[in-house]
Amino acid sequence: MMGVKMTKSYKIEIPLPKRYDFKSVESKWQRRWEEWGIYKFDKEDKTKPTFSIDTPPPYPSGEFHVGNALNHAYIDFAARYKRLRGYNVLFPQGWDCHGLPTEVRIEKKLGKTKRDIPRGKFLELARKFTLEWIKPMREAIKRLGCSIDWTTEYMTMDPDYWRRTQLSFIEMYNKGYVYRAEHPVFWCPRCETALAEAEIEYEEVERELYYYNFELVDGGKVTVASTRPELLAACVALLVHPDDTRYKHLIGKKARIPIYNREVPILADPEVDPNFGTGVVMVCTYGDKTDVRWQKRYNLPIIKVIDEQGRMTENAGPLKGMSILEARRKIVELLRKEGYMVKVEKIKSNVGKCWRCHTPVEILPKTQWFVKTRELKDRILEEAKNIKWIPPHARKRLEDWVKSLDWDWPISRQRIFGTPFPVWYCRKGHIIVAKPEWLPIDPRFQKPPIDKCPKCGSELIPEEDVMDTWMDSSITAAVHAGWPDNMDERLFPADLQPNGYDIIRTWDYYLIVRGLILFGKPQFKTALINGMMRGTDGRMMHKSYGNYVSLLEVLDKYGADAFRLWVAIAVKPGSDLRFSWEGLEFARRFLIKLWNIGRLAYLYIHEFNVEDLNVNHKELRAIDHWILKELSDTINTVTNALEEYDYQEAVTKIVDFVWHKLADHYLEAIKYRMNIEEEKKKTAYVLYGILRDVLIMASVFIPHIAEEIYYGILGGKPWKSITIAPWPKPPEYDAEKASIGEKIIKVIAAMRRVKHDLRMPLSAEIPKVILYYLDEESKKVLHSGLEDIKGTIRIQEVEIKYGKGRYGVEELDNISFDVM
């Protein structure tokens, strides 16, 4: 097709340039679409069905990376498809501003910790940097061609968003779902804040397992194995398995802690693993989550040996003031010196680390606000079944997570840049929660409208902590729907919840939790889960691995359409995909193909006013019916695939149709008709319909080039944009003629191959060809396709007769031919 020779003596001016320049085309349409406001959710429209998307608000990290882009591409495919299907689509965009990532970055940028910067100043900087970091990300999303309704843009650090988050807290408090209590929580000593279980990442590391002796009070000794001897001062008991015959006689006795000489009981508990170490476990407050359980179960004392900054407290005696690592070295030295140490082994074990700064976390008892998530477990598991998960196994991930949770959700963060708790305490311990009309309020800086405790009249002390950032982002679906001021029930629960599988355990989970508490239902109906973008080497993409690819580099080199097309083709939603320049190259080649098809189509359709171009299908040729059947199949397949969010299937079908049916065969077989007066109208009619429908479907994935061809070749009519056209209906065709057409196409393909094998240029004329048939049906096919075969292959004389020739036709045993 690419080598088409213009046989016409005059030159037709094609409105699109030869070379497709994605750079100017993409930015032009992005600007225009936004100016036209065609992707705005129409609040007033009550006729169209609505489709609401709970767009995940990204962290303002300053860079929108290829993984974010994958997520947003998936969302945009859904938004564009639903719009074409006639839905009034809400595709909002927000920014999840608060929380650790921003604070950690500010601290790193300034080389100071939050302690060294006044709180007001810190907040001011956090807001300023957040706005700066959002800018390039917003730009990147726009360059990706996402059909976002930008009038909806919000930031969770805005006072109006604070008001919503704070109100959601008050409602949960009034419903009895939040409480304040002292409970052990995960603690990052670097970030100096509590963390939820969802914020802990486990990493397997090699570390030392120390074996050392405890003296028994009644004489003798017992050996204990532990990776954390620096916690000795916090040891409150030794535990053995009740059936462990080695130690049965010790149960109920007492042991003396080395160095510290304090006595602790020896207890039996079935949770002890007799195969780990010596089978004797030292319970410390707290080494890990099991210690928390044991402390509670046996009502053991709590001895805090590590403080909020990760320093040893005075309870640690000779270790006081040391860091955890220094303390470990010191206690090992002391145990050796005093003769307690038996041996040291290397083992591999999991260490919990802060998700943001990767510092190993500790467990500290803290007075915090908690959400009662444990009692919701069963309901969450039940409701998760009513949500459609794509892919279906994503639900398992949520279920496993919910089942693994031991603690309620701690929502207090000892940080600065976050939504403040609308809460005060009085000297006598009463809790005063703000009235909704006081919101938004920052108790750290603003006085409440009352100045005394309403219960006892004593002075008010503001809450200094802020909320976990997931408190902001776990009400997004409701906020998008207008909660609490003008909730549009049509938009809630959200129709689509699109996110990566890495945040199923946070975002999806918290959205369900908050939905159940605040609204009595989950906040979304369908969860569309995307995989992770890996580097070209297949490993997780990471700057330190040297396999990192910047989205801007991709967009500069290939443009948005190529990226979007590639991510759609590469995998099905839910699977990881490996970054591939070859994949982008393939996508680019397809775009060029489509571009050339558009330009070629112009030669056929430019003479007609295509909108009222109508031809009775009875007049169409067999190969026309064949291509209409292929188009019809394509529309059906693409529609069904997109209904199931199977982008790979949809786009593969479009590419296959365009490349391997339309370009490779049909366009070749109609070239000769361009100069035949009575064929012109029919060809233009068929080609126009195909191009229009292909562009509409393709605009889900590659909207820029689709729009450019629509305007350049089809004149930009009748719709303002091809991206808001009605979804195509499968065209009518005659099945019998289509089947004949398919065979004619095969004959033509076989003859082209032969021409190629004989080293004849495709444009070269062949003096004579004899076509052979062995049955009546094949005879009919050959007669019906005579003109198409003759015209396409450029044969001067054709003879059709019974028999068998030298060259066969693939899949058609009863047809053959000879080239004379």
Per CB under 5 A, residues contacting Zn ion are 188, 190-191, 354, 357, 359, 426, 428, 430, 453, 455-456, 458
Closest contact distance (angstroms) between CB of 426 and Zn ion is 3
Angstrom distance (rounded) from CA 74 to CA 56: 12
Max CA pair span of the chain: 114
Whether a cis peptide bond, with omega within 30° of 0, leads into 392 is no
Closest contact distance (angstroms) between CB of 126 and Zn ion is 16
Q: Which is nearer to Zn ion, 189 or 712 (CB)?
A: 189
Q: Which is nearer to Zn ion, 340 or 424 (CB)?
A: 424
Closest contact distance (angstroms) between CB of 199 and Zn ion is 9
Closest contact distance (angstroms) between CB of 122 and Zn ion is 17
Query: At CA 281, angle to CA 279 and CA 183, rounded to 5?
Result: 145
Angstrom distance (rounded) from CA 317 to CA 231: 11
Q: Which is nearer to Zn ion, 188 or 654 (CB)?
A: 188
Angstrom distance (rounded) from CA 524 to CA 522: 6
Residue type, position 218, single letter:
D
Closest contact distance (angstroms) between CB of 454 and Zn ion is 8
Contacts of 354 (CB under 8 A, 6+ apart): 100, 188, 190, 191, 195, 199, 200, 201, 360, 361
Contacts of 165 (CB under 8 A, 6+ apart): 156, 419, 467, 471, 472, 475
Contacts of 567 (CB under 8 A, 6+ apart): 69, 70, 73, 74, 577
Handedness of CA 187, 200, 100, 496 (dihedral sign): negative
C-beta of residue 212 within 8 angstroms of C-beta of residue 259:
no
Closest contact distance (angstroms) between CB of 114 and Zn ion is 12
Q: Which is nearer to Zn ion, 223 or 359 (CB)?
A: 359
Q: Which is nearer to Zn ion, 191 or 194 (CB)?
A: 191
Q: Which is nearer to Zn ion, 249 or 455 (CB)?
A: 455
Closest contact distance (angstroms) between CB of 288 and Zn ion is 18
Angstrom distance (rounded) from CA 661 to CA 694: 12
Closest contact distance (angstroms) between CB of 554 and Zn ion is 31
Closest contact distance (angstroms) between CB of 190 and Zn ion is 4
Whether a cis peptide bond, with omega within 30° of 0, leads into 484 is yes
Q: What is the DSSP letter of 311?
A: B
Q: Which is nearer to Zn ion, 112 or 753 (CB)?
A: 112
Environment class of residue 722 by beta-carbon count within 10 Å: exposed (0-12), middle (13-18) or buried (19+)? buried
Angstrom distance (rounded) from CA 69 to CA 549: 12
Q: Which is nearer to Zn ion, 188 or 364 (CB)?
A: 188
Ramachandran region, residue 358 (left: φ > 0; alpha: ψ -120 to 50; beta: rest): left
Closest contact distance (angstroms) between CB of 321 and Zn ion is 21
Q: Which is nearer to Zn ion, 253 or 430 (CB)?
A: 430
Q: Which is nearer to Zn ion, 8 or 428 (CB)?
A: 428
Q: What are phi and psi of 331, to 5 degrees?
A: -70, -35
Task: Name the residue among 481, 553, 536, 531 with its Cα closest to residue 511.
Answer: 481
Ramachandran region, residue 483 (left: φ > 0; alpha: ψ -120 to 50; beta: rest): beta
Closest contact distance (angstroms) between CB of 293 and Zn ion is 25
Task: Name the residue among 234, 231, 245 with its Cα closest to residue 274.
Answer: 245
Closest contact distance (angstroms) between CB of 301 and Zn ion is 28
Q: Which is nearer to Zn ion, 194 or 513 (CB)?
A: 194
Angstrom distance (rounded) from CA 647 to CA 626: 25
- Give the CA count within 13 Å in the CB-facing half-sphere of 800: 18
Q: Which is nearer to Zn ion, 443 or 574 (CB)?
A: 443
Q: Which is nearer to Zn ion, 267 or 426 (CB)?
A: 426
How many residues in the chain? 820
Q: If you compute the radius of gyration of the chain from its CA atoms, what whole number of angstroms results?
A: 35
CA dihedral 675, 679, 685, 686 (to 10 degrees): -100
In the chain, helix, strand, coil percent, each to 5?
45, 20, 35
Residue type, position 780, single letter:
K
Closest contact distance (angstroms) between CB of 456 and Zn ion is 3
Q: Which is nearer to Zn ion, 187 or 647 (CB)?
A: 187
Q: How many CB atoms lie within 10 A of CB 578?
A: 17
The secondary structure element, H or E, covering residue 342 is: strand 341-354
Closest contact distance (angstroms) between CB of 292 and Zn ion is 20
Closest contact distance (angstroms) between CB of 428 and Zn ion is 4
Q: Please, which residues bridge with residue 772 across strands? A: 801, 816
Distance of CA 781 to the CA centre of its chain: 51
Angstrom distance (rounded) from CA 547 to CA 537: 7
Closest contact distance (angstroms) between CB of 195 and Zn ion is 8
Q: Which is nearer to Zn ion, 69 or 453 (CB)?
A: 453
Q: Which is nearer to Zn ion, 99 or 791 (CB)?
A: 99
